[in-house]
Amino acid sequence: MKGVAWILSVGNELLIGRVVNTNAAWLASKLTFLGYSVRRIVVVPDEENDIVEAFREAINRADVVILTGGLGPTPDDITNLAFCKALGVEAVVNDEALKMVRGKYESRGYALTPERIKMAMMPPGATPLPNPVGTAPGILYESGGKLVVLLPGVPKEMEAIFENHVEPLLKSRGPPVYFSEREVVVRGVPEADIAPVIREVMRLDKRVYVKSHPRGFEVNAPLLHIHIYASAGSKEEAEALVSKASDRLIELIKLKYGDRASISTG
The contact set with a second copy (CB under 8 A) reads: 9, 12-22, 24-32, 38-46, 50, 72-76, 104-105, 108, 110, 113, 115-116, 133-135, 154, 181, 190-196, 198-199, 209, 211-214, 217-220, 227, 229
* Alpha carbons 171 and 3: distance in angstroms, whole number: 12
Min dist. Cβ of residue 210 to a second copy (A): 9
Residue with Cβ nearer a second copy (117 or 240): 117
Report angle CA 57, 63, 69 to the nearest 5 degrees.
60
Residue with Cβ nearer a second copy (122 or 194): 194
Residue with Cβ nearer a second copy (93 or 195): 195
b/e map of 20-29 (b: 16 or more CB within 10 Å)? ebebbebbbe
Residue with Cβ nearer a second copy (141 or 248): 248
Min dist. Cβ of residue 136 to a second copy (A): 8
The burial of 96, by beta-carbon neighbours within 10 Å (0-12 exposed, 13-18 middle, 19 or more buried), is given as exposed
CA separation, residue 209 to residues 5, 241, 242 (Å): 18, 10, 9
* Alpha carbons 8 and 164: distance in angstroms, whole number: 20
Residue with Cβ nearer a second copy (22 or 143): 22
Longest dimension (CA), the chain: 73
- Expressed in angstroms, the distance from the first to the final Cα of the chain is 25
Min dist. Cβ of residue 25 to a second copy (A): 4
Min dist. Cβ of residue 14 to a second copy (A): 7
Min dist. Cβ of residue 118 to a second copy (A): 9
